[in-house]
Structure 1
Amino acid sequence: MTTYGYARCSTDENKQDINRQKRELKALGCVDEKNIYWEYESGTKIERIELNRLLNQVKAGDTIVTTEVSRITRSTKQLCEIIEMAKEKNLKLVIGGFIVDCTKGQLDAMTDGMLKMMGVFAEMERNMISERVKSGMANAAAKGKVIGRPSTTVDSLPSSFIKHYPKYRNKEINKTELARICNVSRQSVHKYIHIYERDI
């Protein structure tokens, strides 16, 4: 029986620090960092590379730890699917201080209802954030401000990427390993490689 952790942030490594979640996952029982799956993706996105890798990796009796429901998903529908998968695979879910034990293939009605309510609130919170962002962008645009992130250039690439890129180019490490070394998402590394190889 193995304990796995899952950490997620919505925005890239320059905006949010995912290491806090990793520390909390270790405190919750996922002490082996190699068993922590993490990524920078929206919680509403269904096809998340690292989450799917984790869900394909777990076996009967294993435990999945996450700091809160919104880290694993902000979709009530997907949460229900994960609960059903946990029942089918006889998993235990640890969501912060909330333990969902499906190791016997069943879940009591109270726990099931509480978990789904947490999912509804996570989705509602995400929708409220989205509405505030859209309102803020519309207000900024009305004032003539430029909207959007500044474009990434070679000069703004993380120093860790510049340092370890030669290992990737020499095929000593692959793209996923480069992402983990640089503590960024695989998608970010893909973008960095494109920018770096275009301009060197």
Structure 2
Amino acid sequence: MTTYGYARCSTNENKQNINRQKRELKALGCVDEKNIYWEYESGTKVDRVELNRLLDQVQEGDTIVTTEVSRITRSTKQLCQIIEIVKEKQLKLVIGGFIVDCRNGELDAMTDGMLKMMGVFAEMERNMISERVKSGMANAVAKGKVIGRPITSIETLPSCFIKHYPKYKNAQINKTELARLCDVSRQSVYKYICIYEGKK
């Protein structure tokens, strides 16, 4: 039986936050860092590479640890799907101090209801944040400010990517390992590679 951790941030600018999550996951029992799956993706995105890899990897009796329900998803529908996977695979799910033990294949009604309520609050929080962001952007546009992230170019590629790219090019590491070395998502690494190699 193995303990796996999952950490997520919405953007790769928040490295401090995801590193804090990794430390907390170790404190919660996922002591082996190679068993921590992490990524920079929206909590509402269903098809997340690292989360899907984790859910494919776990076996009966294993434990999944995450710091809070909003890390694993901000969608009530997806949370229900994850709960079903936890029950089907007979896993233990630890969300901070909240334990969902389905290693006998069952989930009591009280725990199921509390878990889904946590999911509703996580989704509601995300919607409130989204509304505030939209309001702030509209206000900024009204004041004539330019909205959006700076465009990444070959001149602005991270130095860590430039440093480790030769290892990828020489097949010493793959995209996932390159992403971990650069502390960014696989999607970001793919974008960096396309820019660096002059692809469209």
Correspondence for 2:134: 134
Correspondence for 1:119: 119
- Superposed displacement of residue 154, structure 1: 2.4
Pair 1:173 & 2:173 matched = yes
- Superposed displacement of residue 152, structure 1: 1.3
Work out the number of aligned pairs and report it. 198
Pair 1:56 & 2:56 matched = yes
Query: Which structure 1 residue ranges, 4+ long, deviate > 2 Å from structure 2?
Result: 14-17, 153-156
SS at match of 2:198: helix
Question: Where does the alignment leave 5 or more consecutive residues of structure 1 unmatched?
Answer: none
Inter-partner Cα distance in structure 2 for 1:196 and 1:61? 43
Inter-partner Cα distance in structure 2 for 1:159 and 1:104? 49
Question: Where does the alignment leave 5 or more consecutive residues of structure 2 unmatched?
Answer: none
Letter in 1 for 2:85: M
SS at match of 1:198: coil
Letter in 1 for 2:21: Q
Inter-partner Cα distance in structure 2 for 1:92 and 1:38? 19
Q: Write the deviation string for residues 60-114 of structure 1: whole angstroms up to 9, x where unpaired.
A: 1000000000000000011011111111111000000101101111111111111
Q: Report the RMSD for the aligned CA atoms in angstroms.
A: 1.1
- Superposed displacement of residue 5, structure 1: 0.3
Correspondence for 1:79: 79
TM-score (norm 1): 0.96
Letter in 2 for 1:2: T
- Superposed displacement of residue 16, structure 1: 4.0
TM-score (norm 2): 0.96
Inter-partner Cα distance in structure 1 for 2:78 and 2:110? 19
Letter in 2 for 1:148: G
